[in-house]
Amino acid sequence: MVQIAATLSALFYLGVFVTTSFWGLFLVLALMAFFWSASIPLVEATTMSYLGKNTAHYGRIRSWGSIGFIVSVVGLGYAFDYIAIAWLLWAGLVCELGILIFSRQIPKTEVLAHHTDHQSVKQIVLQPRVLALFGACFLMSVAHGPYYTFYSIYLVEHGYAKSAVGGLWALGVICEIGVFFVMPALVRRFGATRILLISFSAAILRFLLIGWTVDWVVLLMFAQVLHALTFGAYHAASVGLVHEFFQGRHQSKGQALFGSITYGAGGVVGGLASGPIWQHWGASVLYSMSAVTALLGLLLMVWMRRQNNP
């Protein structure tokens, strides 16, 4: 299924070379993302199954995605200071073909039976702790919508060179890689739920810094360092909790639901809401609303922890 999804994603991506209309690109990118996104939870579940009892080491495998991200943003950031932005389309094609090639190398894993296999996935989802986790992570993705949609444009509008923008993205991901490698120790020391509480708290501070201190490069750099918590630690801990809640035959379903509700729906809501808010109230208000959204997610996580530890 991963191989089929990667093939169709690469195939539909080719449409970017034949259309420049809004609706044409909308259709092309929607079809590409439909299949690309479908493969992610399957890979996550496969990774967790492959690790077995060593799921705390998930971050070390996930860090390679972050390394690829650094290569892209730093390399392309410098490149686009000198070459036409149209080359971005070809860079995307290289990434799509790379995903397709490596999808054929993913090891096969066996899903072990679990005592929850007799339950329906609906029964698991409707547990208060699962609903709270999904709701909080949905809000975290909404909060990140303005960051992933407008952060680069925001910096360029304030006079930052494209290479500097790439450098700031890379700084965040370098810190993300660092936290991925120490996640086993962090999980043993604090537990996944407490790590998420810290991550949501860091997100509140980070978005306030981005929104109100854009002209202070040192504070922007500190905000990027916080990416280690707001994405790296957050992602590893949340995927680990989903794996804990959905086991046996429900693993892939759980990761698919998590990805769809949080990164999928949350990312869409955050991205779509960003444009009108930016246009009418400006970037500072936009990123302040991201901070408020992260605060709501934090409150949900606090409630979930109290439910588990009354």
The stretch 42-67 carries a mean pLDDT of: 78
pLDDT band of residue 113 (cuts 50, 70, 90) is low
**pLDDT tens digits, 30-40:** 999 888 877 87
CB 281 within 8 A of CB 117: no
Please give the domain boundaries of the chain with CATH numbers for all domains: 2-107+121-308 (1.20.1250.20)
The stretch 270-282 carries a mean pLDDT of: 91
Using a pLDDT cut of 90, give the percent of the chain over it: 44
Q: The whole model's pTM is what?
A: 0.81
24 pLDDT exceeds 80? yes
